[in-house]
Amino acid sequence: RGLEEAPLQYQRSGPPYDFPRYRSTVHEVTQAFAAASREVLAVEAELAGPRGQPLLASHVRSLQQLEQTRLATVALLQLMGAPELSEQENTLEMRQLKMKVIKTMEAISEVLQDLRFDAESVE
């Protein structure tokens, strides 16, 4: 949520824009995502190792990679929407990035369904 709100607050703050506040918010969100990522990697390692569930581990790894792609694409979209860049014509590229986010979210949903199905099969 903070990642979504930070660019909007930044855009509303100017000109002159409150970049230090934006940078601080992005840093906090980045730290939260890094902590969550470490937890997901620990779950993946547990599934791949002691639990002996390599298929479930691969689903978790796929989710991690897809989330990384989604976050990077959303961040790029936010940068392109920044007031300093919004005057440039990036509409085609922005549409392509929005489609990439949608397709990534669809892929995440598919992997989650596979994970649920395969996890139920294990039980």
DSSP letters for 47-60: HHTTT--HHHHHHH
Q: What percentage of the chain exceeds 70 in pLDDT?
A: 80
Non-local (6+) Cβ contacts of 108 within 8 A are 63, 66, 67, 70
pLDDT for residue 85 = 57
43-91 residue pLDDT tens: 999 999 988 999 999 999 999 999 999 988 988 887 777 655 555 567 7
User: How many alpha carbons lie under 13 Å from residue 23 in its C-beta half-sphere?
Assistant: 4
Q: How many domains does the chain have?
A: 1
Phi, then psi, of 31 in degrees rounded to 5? -65, -40
What is the span of the domain harbouring residue 21?
2-122
Of 74-78, 93-97, 100-104, give the lowest mean pLDDT range: 74-78
Residue 114 confidence (pLDDT): 97
